[in-house]
Structure 1
């Protein structure tokens, strides 16, 4: 699928994303949960298109181009911008709590999954299994490094145990209600699940939590995603996995 091929007409905001980028998935889930419609444009970040770099010189997905042309780069910045612009009017759908202490916990967990989980799990798996398939060898492409994949498979186990630890003590990861913390975690887990590297026997509480989030309407578009030449794991779109 070429960049821009997902564009539809009549939507004023545009999200530049890559289907198996967990940061992009976090942004897509947040937008869907808040009922914000966007025009999806698939971006291949390794191509470093001039038009995309003009939006964000870092050249990383996602980037939300809001009505009026404001470029909002990065999933965490998009989440904060959404809370500032539509969160107050979202009622029970708001993804940040009102209490400042509770907001700290949401931000802590978003940073955990967007940073630590990415550095230790999804960054390895997505780069080695997906991105390197499309990047020229001169730019770092080629066969996957199995040592990196083994490291990710080992690391994901303790992350699932941590998710299970949180899920056993709270209704959702950061507290009583669904927040950005759940969406960030689920976005990264969904990539691991797509690639068949989620050891669901590791922690039953983590699996139960993910099944709840995976069953939400906001997840349907993600479960329909397909990467050319790489089918998802059998359990990926199964809500009763």
Structure 2
């Protein structure tokens, strides 16, 4: 690999961002070497705004190009580095993968990931107030319905979107791993979902995620354990 600053693949990310983790997992699964640069996006960083006018992570510098939006990045990587494939061949199967990616990045994030992390993590990191217990309780209540829905999918499928591992699984795992870091997933609610997560968590691509350490916020004791069910 050309190690010049122009050619180094670099990911501007935040460790406990599910969108950053989603891209990290795809990069690792594709065995693309990447330099991780942590962004404190809440500090109104002018450099981040230059890289992405939306002021959001992740931003990937790859082949001299700056790219934002996790779903677009992941599909770009899957098309340019086709093996192992994370998008199915048929339009109907690709639709189902994209539907589930959107489910997590929109609905699950809005109802579960964002409110829980905002109250339990980001307020502490940014020193922006005390956690709102009502928001946390609402997120913990909502995740039960999501777990039940995913369980119903896995009762008839090997992976979330079908018979093969796909971007849908990495998107889901990115969100669950952020919540699992602070022990906010009730794995006892679904044996089949726990088995799915244990399987994907055991992949080499997950090693970097499991090594994350957030200053001042310790991971749950089982967070990095592969046999945690």
TM range (shorter): over 0.9
Instruction: After superposition, give the CA deviation of every residue in 1:206-226 in whole Å (9 maximum; x if it has no partner).
Output: 111111001101001101101
- CA distance in structure 2 between the aligned counterparts of 1:48 and 1:35, rounded to whole angstroms: 32
Partner of 2:21: 25
> Do structure 1's residue 215 and structure 2's residue 206 form an aligned pair?
no
Tell me, which stretches of 5 or more residues in structure 1 are unaligned? 1-7
Selected match of 2:184 from 197, 208, 230: 197
- CA distance in structure 2 between the aligned counterparts of 1:77 and 1:195, rounded to whole angstroms: 28
Partner of 1:114: 105
Partner of 2:48: 52
- CA distance in structure 2 between the aligned counterparts of 1:143 and 1:213, rounded to whole angstroms: 34
Partner of 1:97: 88
Selected match of 1:71 from 63, 66, 70: 66
Aligned length: 225
Selected match of 1:83 from 75, 78, 87: 78
Mapping of residues 174-185 of structure 1, within 5 Å: 174-185=161-172
SS of residue paired to 1:169: coil
Q: What's the TM-score, normalizing by structure 1? A: 0.90
Partner of 2:174: 187
* CA displacement at 1:9 relative to structure 2: 7.8
- CA distance in structure 1 between the aligned counterparts of 2:110 and 2:88, rounded to whole angstroms: 27
* CA displacement at 1:83 relative to structure 2: 2.1
Mapping of residues 93-172 of structure 1, within 5 Å: 93-135=84-126, 141-172=128-159
Partner of 1:38: 34
* CA displacement at 1:176 relative to structure 2: 1.0
- CA distance in structure 2 between the aligned counterparts of 1:239 and 1:98, rounded to whole angstroms: 31
* C-alpha contact (below 8 Å) 1:113/1:188 kept by paired residues: yes
Partner of 1:5: none
Q: Which runs of 4+ in 1 moved over 6 A?
A: 8-11
* CA displacement at 1:52 relative to structure 2: 0.8
Q: CA RMSD in A?
A: 1.4
